[in-house]
A and B are shown apart, each in its own frame.
Chain A
Amino acid sequence: GAGVSQSPSNKVTEKGKDVELRCDPISGHTALYWYRQSLGQGLEFLIYFQGNSAPDKSGLPSDRFSAERTGGSVSTLTIQRTQQEDSAVYLCASSLNSPSGSGSKQYFGPGTRLTVT
């Protein structure tokens, strides 16, 4: 079956502009995660959605970052007024159920490489 897909694969934007990144999780997966991978920083958790529960937004670095998940499926990560330090690869992952459950194995998309000039 289809894996996790993300779009666009690459995005170049000017400082101060808003961007939207999209993630399509694996069908039937209730949990969805966004991460950021910056050069030299490793992978950083951003936000976690589980079913219809309120998302865990504790990893979002500032109020310029927001995410939503419509209908328990597709998710969009929005970055407002982008800054150069937002340049990174943004990765989305999904899992069958919660991170502590038996179906907690996370499947990652290929990522969106964001470059803010």
Chain B
Amino acid sequence: KQEVTQIPAALSVPEGENLVLNCSFTDSAIYNLQWFRQDPGKGLTSLLLIQSSQREQTSGRLNASLDKSSGRSTLYIAASQPGDSATYLCAVYGGSNYKLTFGKGTLLTVNP
């Protein structure tokens, strides 16, 4: 059974700091990995999707990396802003079951 773990569960940083969110998964036979953002009371917004053949994806201040063999992904946020405050979720597709399996998320607070 695929399990996805996100560390830390919560993170508070001052505005302008660069930060890294971590995601690990137990079954490396995945098709892809996605990072999502969830604002309170809202649905999820897909930030980046990395196919299993890729090593990283970039969008603006966000960079996500994937090391499939070690079952790890990181989301790097550069020059954080208060508007980045949200819960960030990592999800993998594939592995022993063909479902999108989510981690429990990292709650990020960027203080002005």
Contacts and interface: CB of A to CB of B under 8 A. Distances in A.
A105 B44 contact: no
Contacts of B89: 43
Contact-residue bracket for chain B = 20 to 34
A45 B99 contact: yes
Interface string A90-109: 01010000011010111111
B105 A99 contact: no
Given A42-B102, A45-B100, A105-B34, A100 B94 contact: yes
A84 to B, nearest CB: 21
A37 to B, nearest CB: 9
A58 B93 contact: no
Interface in B45-73: 45-46, 49, 51
B81 interface: no
Nearest to A6: B43
A35 B43 CA distance: 11
Contact of B31 (A42, A44, A104, A109): A104
Nearest to A42: B104
A4 B43 CA distance: 10
Contacts of A4: 43
A42 B43 CA distance: 13
Contacts of A16: none
A33 interface: yes
Most chain A Cβ neighbours within 10 Å, of B36, B43, B91: B43
Interface of B: 31-32, 34, 36, 42-46, 49, 51, 89, 91, 93-94, 97-105
Interface of A: 4, 33, 35, 42-45, 48, 56, 58-59, 91, 93, 99-100, 102, 104-111
